[in-house]
Structure 1
Amino acid sequence: MKFPFFVRSLPLLLVLFLPNTAFASDIKEQAEKIVMMLNIVNKEYHEGVKDGKIINADEYGESQVFLAQSEERYQGISEKGQDIKSASKLAAKFKSLSKIIASKKDPAQISKAVQNLNAGLVKQFGLTIFKSPRKPVSLAKGKTIYQKNCVVCHGPTGQGDGPKAKGLEPAPARLADPQLTGDGITDPYDNFQIISVGIANTAMQGWADTLSEEERWDVTFFVRTFSNKLVKLPAIQKAAATENSGATGENPEKVLEEIKNLLEKSRSAYEKEKVRPARLAVIDAYLVFEPVEQVLLEKNRKVGKGIERTFGELQTQMKKKAPYQDIETTINKINLDLKSALPLLQ
């Protein structure tokens, strides 16, 4: 039986008119990057301008560069949103923001303009912006990502002294600086945005096309360990620990043995006056302890916090180059406390 042309053409019409989900997803990702870049524009401007005057030319310049790049990105997707008619209005808002930045208006006015523009982007492209991780963060995975992709420029402890750092202009950011990654001073989302979109006119590339959202959050919180003795993990970590009913997912005895071995490595290095390797080994030990800590905090908060505090004391002692006997005593205390906590983990 020969079907009418319309019926025979139906499969082709379906292919033509069904939404291309991969394409739509890519457009959303581009729009999300623009939102991130505009947030960076706002942050850089606040650090670069005060009372109508430039107080930091580099930061002010960065705000202009990020705005120009975000506007360029928007031009590439402007007519692919949910309401084509609003595209020109958003384009005009980019121009308006550029003018008030050039006029060095009050930072509060910039914040309002950025919020307004971002609200339009969220509506136009149906975005859902998450400013914190949606899944539990893994510092261990973050460390692996950092060592693979970031250490060559930023160095093993975030000092900006990696093997490729020499000759780079501007120099790689010193991630160990609390002004960049410190809890109580900065927001992890600021770091996440930079990791995602990069920094214009520098060697810092954006990683949103290479790393998943989860991986970017992992490395975000890992780099924050460089300036925080015990980095504050997002609230979702606690929720995840509760959902797991206290289970670490691994053999607790093996986990504690690994921590013990790393602490022994640290002790041995410190005894030989190799302070830096000793401190790195302590960080590694804490990374192994981190998922265990979440369980301990649920089972016995006092015990979990106590061990966490002692890890912090150990890092402080090493930073101040305390006598070896003090280091040995603190390491022994951690091992004893972990041994006492083992029943809580089983």
Structure 2
Amino acid sequence: MILIGALLSIAAATADSAAPDQVIRRVAATAQLAAQEYRIGVVDGRVVAQAEVDEARLFLEEAKRSAGGLPAEAAPPAVAALDTLLRLVAALAPPDTIATRVSVLSSGLAERFGVTLDELPRQPPRLARGAEIYQSSCASCHGVAGAGNGPMAAGLDPSPADLTDWKALSDQSPLDYFRRISIGVVGTAMPPFEDRLPADDRWAVALYASLLRLP
């Protein structure tokens, strides 16, 4: 838990010093991932997967922290919107309500500041480059084949995700992988790579990692 706390502190410090477009992308991506996790965790007003609801809450809290780094005129309303989302999650609001409010927040920031929410690759992602980055930056935790059994995995709580688990990851797009790689995963030891890898490399490793779930 000390490692996780340190990584979250680093992420928060990075958010404070990041350019506005980078902060906007982080707020939007984190909130969008929260909405996805919440949709898995809540059905018909009932919690069916507590871990996903907890992860949605953590993502929203991280989005709120990041929103503090927005330009002065945008930060207070964004923080207020995320506070409302946290209350709705606590009240087990319908997933569509969460998704709609996240969409309004994200699109509103994008339009206000003229920012594209997701960085597009300048060229088609190269699997060979993705494999190279995966082995150098991801395999120590996720394992060479992605099964979550890398040499560092035993000391991590929670354990690294098993990227070979088709059932758990079948609905995840390469964009979802890209977002997690870019902003990290709150509540885990996975750090953000947006300042470590250029967008083209993040797309390459996202595409490669997304294929590890296939037979």
The TM-score with structure 2 as length reference comes to 0.86
Select the residue among 36, 39, 45 that pairs with 1:46.
39
Is the Cα–Cα contact under 8 Å of residues 181 and 188 in structure 1 kept in the other structure? no
Structure 1 137/180 Cα, relative in aligned 2: closer, same or farther at 3 Å? farther
Select the residue among 199, 219, 239 that pairs with 2:185.
199
**Distance between the aligned counterparts of 1:163 and 1:52, measured in 2?**
40
**Distance between the aligned counterparts of 1:213 and 1:171, measured in 2?**
26
Deviation track 1:135-168 (CA, whole Å, cap 9, x = no partner) reads 2110001111011110101111101111111131
Deviation track 1:169-212 (CA, whole Å, cap 9, x = no partner) reads 11110111124554xx3211111111111111211111111011
**Distance between the aligned counterparts of 2:189 and 2:75, measured in 1?**
32
Residue 168 of structure 1 aligns with an amino acid whose one-letter code is L
**Distance between the aligned counterparts of 2:26 and 2:75, measured in 1?**
17
Structure 1 167/88 Cα, relative in aligned 2: closer, same or farther at 3 Å? closer
Alignment-derived partner of residue 209 in structure 1? 195
**Distance between the aligned counterparts of 1:119 and 1:226, measured in 2?**
32
SS of equivalent residue, structure 1 residue 98: helix
Alignment-derived partner of residue 6 in structure 2? none
How many residues are paired up? 200
Is the Cα–Cα contact under 8 Å of residues 192 and 217 in structure 1 kept in the other structure? yes
Q: Does 1:28 align with 2:21?
A: yes
Q: How far is 1:134 from its partner?
A: 4.0
Give 1 or 2 for the bigger CA radius of gyration: 1
Q: Does 1:64 align with 2:50?
A: no
**Distance between the aligned counterparts of 2:134 and 2:168, measured in 1?**
16
Identify which of structures 1 and 2 has the higher relative contact order when contacts are C-alpha pairs closer than 8 Å and 6+ apart. 2
Alignment-derived partner of residue 209 in structure 2? 223
Alignment-derived partner of residue 186 in structure 1? 172
Structure 2 unaligned runs (5+)?
A: 1-16
Deviation track 1:34-81 (CA, whole Å, cap 9, x = no partner) reads 1110111101101111111211111101111110111111112241xx
Please tell me the root mean square deviation across aligned C-alpha atoms, in Å: 2.0
Runs of 4+ in 1 over 6 A off after TM superposition: none
Is the Cα–Cα contact under 8 Å of residues 173 and 210 in structure 2 kept in the other structure? no
The residue correspondences of 1:140-289 to structure 2 (distance < 5 A) are 140-182=128-170, 185-228=171-214
Residue 207 of structure 2 aligns with an amino acid whose one-letter code is F
Q: How far is 1:90 from its partner?
A: 2.9
Is the Cα–Cα contact under 8 Å of residues 142 and 150 in structure 2 kept in the other structure? yes
Structure 1 97/113 Cα, relative in aligned 2: closer, same or farther at 3 Å? same
Deviation track 1:270-293 (CA, whole Å, cap 9, x = no partner) reads xxxxxxxxxxxxxxxxxxxxxxxx
Residue 196 of structure 1 aligns with an amino acid whose one-letter code is S
The TM-score with structure 1 as length reference comes to 0.54
SS of equivalent residue, structure 2 residue 19: helix
Alignment-derived partner of residue 102 in structure 1? 90
Structure 1 unaligned runs (5+)?
A: 1-23, 230-346
Identity of aligned residues (%): 32
SS of equivalent residue, structure 1 residue 76: coil
Alignment-derived partner of residue 74 in structure 1? 67
Q: Does 1:128 align with 2:121?
A: no
**Distance between the aligned counterparts of 1:210 and 1:178, measured in 2?**
28
Is the Cα–Cα contact under 8 Å of residues 181 and 191 in structure 1 kept in the other structure? no
